[in-house]
A and B are shown apart, each in its own frame.
Chain A
Amino acid sequence: MKIKAKLKNGVVKVKFLAKHGMTTYNMMEKKTGNRDDANFITHISATVNGETVWDASTSQFLSKNPIFKFQFQGIGAKGDKVVINWIDRKGKTKTGKGKIR
């Protein structure tokens, strides 16, 4: 997971890359014959100082290794960390951190 967060004029702009195959049901049916092999991120959220600033429920139609951009304001100073958590369809979770610059 690559996270870039930049504070400018009171708004923190975040750009992050989630490294995930994001395979769809149809793709896996062609590949392995089993639709249930599909795996994609189903829920992602970002927190700063314990407060949720961004929250997404996602489907298989995000691109492979999706890049997200979002913005927030009213929280987060330079040096604070943006913590991103995701869970995928198979229940695997991942956490990443990025410092606000």
Chain B
Amino acid sequence: MKRREFLNLTMGALALAVVPASVRAEDYRKSKPSVWSAKTVDDGIKALYGTSTIIEKGIKVKAPKVASNGGAVPVDFSADMPIKSIAVFQDADPESAVVVYEATKYSVNKYSIKIKMAKSGTITIAALGQDGKVYGAKVTLDVALGGCEG
């Protein structure tokens, strides 16, 4: 490759990088606003994926049995199959949605995140598979000290 071509390519890549990500990837807060105001996990999943029936297979979720600090509960989760997106819900706070990840073609679907939980409850992971089915997993835990009044 000639030096000039290489430079041009590099500049092109840089120009792409400064375009706000929201233009290229889906912002679920804008496209599915009802997900974020849903009070229950079922309503949240239904607003996101159109059904609240989840197949409990292929998704793993890990959280401590007892969380000492509800302000930062560590949650690890992963998907074994190719997915389009994966989301975290819980039933301890006023609204259920925590985060929705959009999988990219580069994604290795293993994530860790810290979430707030005002009281003991259940964390539900829901994922939309490439086959259009909704998969999920649940974990119930005790929260010793509630986080930030939800």
Chain B interface category by residue count: 35 or more
Main DSSP-derived SS at the A contact region: strand
B104-120 vs A, Cβ < 8 Å mask (1 yes, 0 no): 11111011111111000
B115 in complex: contacting residue of A30, A51, A61, CB < 8 Å: A61
Is there an interface contact between A59 and B98, defined as CB atoms closer than 8 Å? Answer: yes
Is there an interface contact between B13 and A55, defined as CB atoms closer than 8 Å? Answer: no
Is there an interface contact between A73 and B20, defined as CB atoms closer than 8 Å? Answer: no
Whether B1 is near chain A, meaning CB under 8 Å from some CB there, is no
Is there an interface contact between A72 and B106, defined as CB atoms closer than 8 Å? Answer: yes
Whether A77 is near chain B, meaning CB under 8 Å from some CB there, is no
Is there an interface contact between B113 and A62, defined as CB atoms closer than 8 Å? Answer: yes
Is there an interface contact between B115 and A52, defined as CB atoms closer than 8 Å? Answer: no
Is there an interface contact between A24 and B116, defined as CB atoms closer than 8 Å? Answer: yes
Is there an interface contact between A56 and B36, defined as CB atoms closer than 8 Å? Answer: no
Kindly list chain B residues whose C-beta atoms are within 8 Å of the C-beta of A58.
Answer: 98-100
Kindly list chain B residues whose C-beta atoms are within 8 Å of the C-beta of A85.
Answer: 20-21
